[in-house]
Amino acid sequence: MTEPTSSYLLSTIKKYLEDLSSNLPAPGGGSASALVASCGISCLLMVANFTVGKKGYEQYQDEIKKIIAELEHLLQELQKFIDKDVEAYNKVSSAYKLPKTTPLDEELRQKQIQIALKESADTAFETMKLAHSCMPVAERLIKIGNKNLITDIACGVIFLQAGVLAAKYNVFINLKFIKEHQYTSEIKKKVRKIITDTKIISKKVLQKIQI
């Protein structure tokens, strides 16, 4: 079995899916969450791009172009987490493999484990935040986007919601082993707020898409 590539973002989809489905420890669900959410943004971008210069949407051109710029930036940021999650997992794995022969070894090992766990939790949480930040755009595109691509808005929202909900589990599994109570408490509150808001917006968007 080959080792994970250094950058899945620059590899083929085939390579990524092969590694995801194999017995390699990474990529896993966290990385896939970022990929799925990136697909969601891409669907919304497609709708926006098919609205540019189209007859009947003249009054929305300036806003659509701003939406495109915003989504392109968010996509660039979010897709980085396809690889960042793999890197974060590998750091956690490496930390657990550190020597624990002496009390000092164990102390240093535990410190590195906690650092790596927080980085891993933060990575998944950033995936959630970036995906969630695109949800209001989907709601707006229903009103001003190309009506011929209404189902792509639905796909975009579903993929974004899936990315948010899936990344949540990666946040929580890391929080489970983090000993800093204040940190875990704050992150849990933020996660639950994002989840609630994501579900509300997703439901509103999908209810407006009648086919």
- CATH code, domain with 148: 1.20.120.680
Specify burial of residue 8 (Cβ count, 10 A radius: 0-12, 13-18, 19+).
Answer: buried
End-to-end CA distance of the chain: 46
Predicted pLDDT of residue 4: 43
What domain count does the chain have? 1
Question: By the 8 A CB rule, do 82 and 31 touch?
Answer: yes
Is residue 134 in some structural domain? yes
Classify 41 as helix, strand or coil. Answer: helix
Q: Which domain holds residue 98?
A: 27-208
Is residue 147 in some structural domain? yes
Question: Looking up tokens 């940021």, which residue turns up?
Answer: 77
DSSP state of 59: G
Q: What angle is formed at CA 201 by the lines to CA 197 and CA 202, rounded to 5 degrees?
A: 115
Is residue 62 in some structural domain? yes
CA distance 207 to 202: 8
Residues 6+ apart with CB under 8 A from 155: 40, 43
**Single-letter amino acid code for the residue at 202:** S
Question: Looking up tokens 């396809």, which residue turns up?
Answer: 82
Specify burial of residue 35 (Cβ count, 10 A radius: 0-12, 13-18, 19+).
Answer: buried
Predicted pLDDT of residue 2: 38
Predicted pLDDT of residue 211: 78
Is residue 10 in some structural domain? no
Residue 11 CB neighbours (<10 A): 16
How confident is the chain (211 residues) per 10-residue block, as mean pLDDT? 62 96 94 98 98 95 97 97 97 96 96 97 98 96 96 97 98 97 97 97 93 78
